[in-house]
Amino acid sequence: MAVAALKGLLPQEGFAHLTPLGGFEARVYTDGERVYKVYKREEAHLAALEAKRMARAGLGSLVLGVVEVEGQGVLVTRRFPGRPFSPEAFTPKTLAALSHLFLSLHRLPEPGVVSREELLERLERFAESLFSVPEALDLVKALKKEVELAAGVERRFCHRDAWAGNLLLKEPGAEGLEVILVDWVRSGGDDPARDLALLKTGSLDLLGEAKAREALLRLGRLYPKEVRERLGFYVPLTYLHDLHWFRSKKPEEFPEALKEKLPKALSFFQDCFPRKGKAC
């Protein structure tokens, strides 16, 4: 379906040079200069929504257009000369660019506050999913007791999906931005501390736990103290979300994810929750 849409959009010579880039919500292709993100018919409206959110994030200059072909929405952008986040490409310059990127996003206000009810609902969902794992249930209960730390926080514009595949690092020798986030369809109002927690669990953890925590805390030093304190809530919460996702979506990979992620969640809560008086 996606290929058929692009076949109707591009000249034959352009179509012949398309390379698939994968994608979850949509199928993504590039011809080397442009990227084409094709949303299926029932989600065609998301192409325009993503373009709008990219503009909100300061990336409007990358958007070349939004078109509808055979009922499918197509977002056309300039290709960023970068590759998905990897430990080998991570440098102090990368960290500085990440700081600038996230601080710029989190300065943008969004309506409303993070409610106590939504946090409790999320934790309850994780408890139901992870009912057979006593340590995970204990962590859920501990976070429920501390939910007031995160409740009532004013929302800011957040990406909310900063896993390694969405975080591109500039290729050596290329010009322009050092880093860029792609896939803005999930972006919106949230707690900046949650956005940073998602960055850790989805990308920085590839550096190894010690380096990931060091990078996260260096980023956190540029934020108000209360944001840094909420990392002690959101990092464990995000690991629980990951475990819930594996149990629901990829149960065959859940045992390995549990082995990897639960110890990190418990350790971060123990070391970095603010009222425990630890170094974080």
| Average of per-residue pLDDT values in the chain | 93
Q: Give the whole-angstrom CA distance, residue 243 versus residue 191.
A: 21
Structure tokens at 98: 């990440």
Task: Specify the CATH number of the domain 83-276.
Answer: 3.90.1200.10
**99 with 219: CB under 8 angstroms?**
yes
In this model, does residue 279 exceed pLDDT 60?
Answer: no
In this model, does residue 207 exceed pLDDT 60?
Answer: yes
- Rounded to 10 deg, the angle between the 134-145 and 225-249 helix axes is 150
In this model, does residue 277 exceed pLDDT 60?
Answer: no
* 100-138 pLDDT, tens digit each: 999 999 999 999 999 999 999 999 999 999 999 999 999
Q: Give the whole-angstrom CA distance, residue 67 versus residue 192.
A: 32
Q: Give the whole-angstrom CA distance, residue 181 versus residue 163.
A: 9
* 140-161 pLDDT, tens digit each: 999 999 999 999 999 999 999 9
Q: What is this structure's pTM?
A: 0.94
| Chain mean position to CA 139 | 23
Domain boundaries, the chain: 2-79, 83-276
Q: Which CATH superfamily is domain 2-79 in?
A: Phosphorylase Kinase; domain 1 (3.30.200.20)
Strands (E) in the chain, as ranges, are 19-22, 27-30, 34-39, 63-69, 72-78, 82-84, 109-113, 154-158, 167-170, 179-181, 188-190
Band (pLDDT 50/70/90 cuts) for residue 248 is very high
